[in-house]
A and B are shown apart, each in its own frame.
Chain A
Amino acid sequence: MAIRTRMSGNEAIAEAIRQIDPDVMPAFPITPSTEIPQFVSTMIANGVIDTEFIPVESEHSAMSAAIGASAAGARTLTATSSAGLAFMWEVVYVAASSRLPIVMALVNRGLTGPLNINAEHSDSMGARDSGWIQIYAENNQEAYDNMLQAYRIAEHADVHLPVMICQDGFITSHAVENISLLEDEPVRRFVGEYHPEHYLLKQGEPMAVGPYAVSNYCMEAKKAQAEAMIRAKKVILEVAGEFEKLSGRSYGYYEAYRLEDAEYAVVAIGSVCGTAKDAIDQLREQGVKAGLLKIRVFRPFPGEEFAEALRGCRAVAIMDRCESYSAQGGPLGAELTAAMYRAKVQAETVNIVYGLSGRDVTVGDIRQVFADLQSLAAGEKTFEQYPYIGLRE
């Protein structure tokens, strides 16, 4: 029986953690993810879960302790945001290259300059090449569902990679919305007990983790890691399939919203997709063939599948909640246009930067994007390749 209730995104993540009951969680407070370690600490204090919480003195130590705990054989979790992830930077790579199935609940917030605490994807996008699987949520329900699937993907024998479960700071993490939860027992059966094959504390089998590798060996290790990321594609879909049987909710690499016959499409990640869906519904009523490609999985990057979903569109707006200061656009824009080129999907594209540092995006903003796409496709208007929307005049 599904449990219908109301929760914020952070509460939804904490509920998933309660049901998973991981072994070890090192974490350090940072807005807007702070509530997650708070909720976990409270559950531990009240005997609700068995997890050992490590109140580390920094995020760098959070990830370092997570590496130690995971290598030792514990199902390990951390949570962070923004500068916290940036501070972990070095060891985020170590976690992935050590092939440790750590899960991070990431509450997306912009990186500093100027200091700001609101939603932006510059934190996780900055870590996009660190070797972590990245799965994004539009709302609290998806954050919960993704969290329940995370260990199944991370710990899979074909993968052995860490996973970031991402949701937008405040917009998702703090806004209270309806949610449908699963019961504890089916969740526990779905997630399963963790039985690592090799770990530091394995009886009768000492092991060494974290070697110095000379050039004769290092490249093979990186290639093996890259292949695990490729294999993760299949595993993500398998786990989503099983999850659908459990929950009735369907997940893939992306969600296509009214995209099948769309002439104009917006591609976006995270909470803005809800706003885009409203705009699309309004436009559809007016006969505009508008649609949305909502990215769920950014790492691995299912470029072929994304491109295929956009085949047939006349014009596509690729929306980045992130600057990359490349003078070309954002990371989603760069990767998706490359994928479309390879797949010979020849729609007009424009790469839009929006919503930085929590800047609000309205239904009207998205409708304007579609209006611009129509002008672009009709050849009535040319665009600078990477405009900002929602900027102050």
Chain B
Amino acid sequence: MSDMTFDFKEIQGREERLVPGHRMCAGCGGTIAVRNVLKALHPGDKAVVGNATGCLEVSSYTYPYTSYEDSYIHSAFENAGATLSGVETAYRALKKKGKISEEYKFITFGGDGGTYDIGLQSLSGAMERGHDMVYVCYDNGAYMNTGIQRSSATPTYADTTTSPAGKCSMGKPQARKDLASILAAHNIPYVGQTTYIGNMKDLYTKSEKAIYTKGGAFLNILAPCPRGWRYDAPDLVDICKSAVETCYWPLFEVVDGKWILNYQPKEKLPIEDFLKRQGRFKHLFAPGNEQYIEAFQKEVDRRWEELLERCG
């Protein structure tokens, strides 16, 4: 593994690999994921970027314009894992035959819909086969591209267009799938869960490890969506911070099967701190609905305890 030191100025000064002019929303977490993960590529290293269909794809490669400095491929919604596995295999085949001399890295991006749900099989297959690639899920907790429909990454009680809160509904009734654990159960060399905190050191470090670890790697990045979560664009950083400080979105990694907690809040904040900043949970704060916030808190606590146990 290469140099893992974190020099904020040097890294932020690196050439952008996702260039301005794309059509993603202001305050979009997905864009931050792509820019920062790609900044973890060492300058001069080549990459092929893959992408599942979603907001990112339709907004960053709208014919005839591409926002990527690197080679890029999109083919469909549910197959970003398989598609990039084909690219990576072609690379090995052509390298073996002496037709390519350069070094390449392979990084693909999918939203939670394309990763937790419709693309889960394709992702699982690609990871199980051990392709030398990184799959990055920018998890905004719903099908945002089609207009905020619930996914298996949507948190319980979130108000979405297919789990609307109403007179007879408190929003999404089901629990959120724990995808990072599912990927860890593939026994791949690297799984990391992160979001946008402080100077992005956690995101950078995990991205660099994922890219420069040989074999399959998976990154799960909490990537807020201003339209779906209903927040003011500048609040993004505070929301991510509260997700971590409430232990709703813990920062951890699983390296060769070993679970490592990367951050433990000094004082775990109540879940309201995360929920109250988002319009999708507004109905939970109506008088008489306290029990739902309590239930949400209980589930966060249970998962946090479980994680602490795994991390020893």
Contact = CB atoms under 8 A, between A and B. Distances in A.
Interface string B81-112: 11111111111111011011110100000000
A67 B83 contact: yes
Given A24-B90, A206-B70, A68 B62 contact: no
A98 B69 CA distance: 20
A39 to B, nearest CB: 18
Contacts of A26: 82, 86, 89
A208 B97 contact: no
Contacts of B69: 206
B198 interface: no
A212 B92 CA distance: 29
Given A24-B86, A201-B104, A52 B92 contact: yes
A255 interface: no
A211 B76 contact: no
Given A56-B82, A211-B61, A65 B89 contact: yes
Contacts of A60: 78-79, 82, 122
A71 B85 contact: no
B297 interface: no
Contacts of B68: 206, 208
Nearest to A66: B86
Contacts of B90: 23-24, 52, 68-70, 72-74, 76, 201
Contacts of A69: 86-87, 89-90, 93
Nearest to B83: A68
Contact of B93 (A24, A71, A98): A24
B71 interface: yes
Question: Of residues A61, A69, A214, which shows the largest number of chain B Cβ atoms within 10 Å of its Cβ?
Answer: A61
B91 A71 contact: no
B238 interface: no
B61 A68 contact: no
Given A91-B75, A201-B48, A72 B91 contact: yes
Given A64-B76, A210-B61, A211-B62, A52 B93 contact: yes
A223 B85 CA distance: 30
Contact of B79 (A50, A72, A91, A203): A91
Interface of A is mostly: mixed
A108 interface: no
A203 B102 contact: yes
A211 B66 contact: yes
Contacts of A207: 71-72
Interface stretch (B124-132, B161-169, B199-207, B253-261): B124-132
Contacts of A24: 86, 89-90, 93
Given A57-B121, A66-B86, A212-B58, A51 B93 contact: yes
B74 A210 contact: yes
Contacts of B61: 208, 210-212
Contacts of B100: 73, 201, 203
A94 B76 contact: yes
B89 A61 contact: no
B73 interface: yes
Interface in B130-167: none
Contacts of A209: 72-75
Contact of B121 (A58, A67, A73, A200): A58
A274 interface: no
B97 A50 contact: yes
A334 interface: no
Among B48, B62, B69, B79, which residue has the most Cβ atoms of chain A within 10 A? B79
A214 B64 CA distance: 10
Contacts of A213: 62-63
B73 A200 contact: yes
A66 B91 CA distance: 13
30 contacts: A24-B90, A51-B93, A52-B93, A56-B82, A57-B125, A60-B79, A61-B82, A61-B85, A61-B126, A64-B83, A65-B85, A67-B83, A68-B75, A68-B82, A68-B89, A69-B86, A73-B90, A73-B94, A74-B94, A76-B86, A91-B76, A201-B100, A203-B101, A206-B71, A209-B72, A210-B75, A211-B61, A212-B57, A213-B62, A217-B63
Closest A-B pairs by Cβ, 7 of them: A68-B86, A57-B125, A65-B86, A61-B82, A72-B90, A74-B90, A64-B79
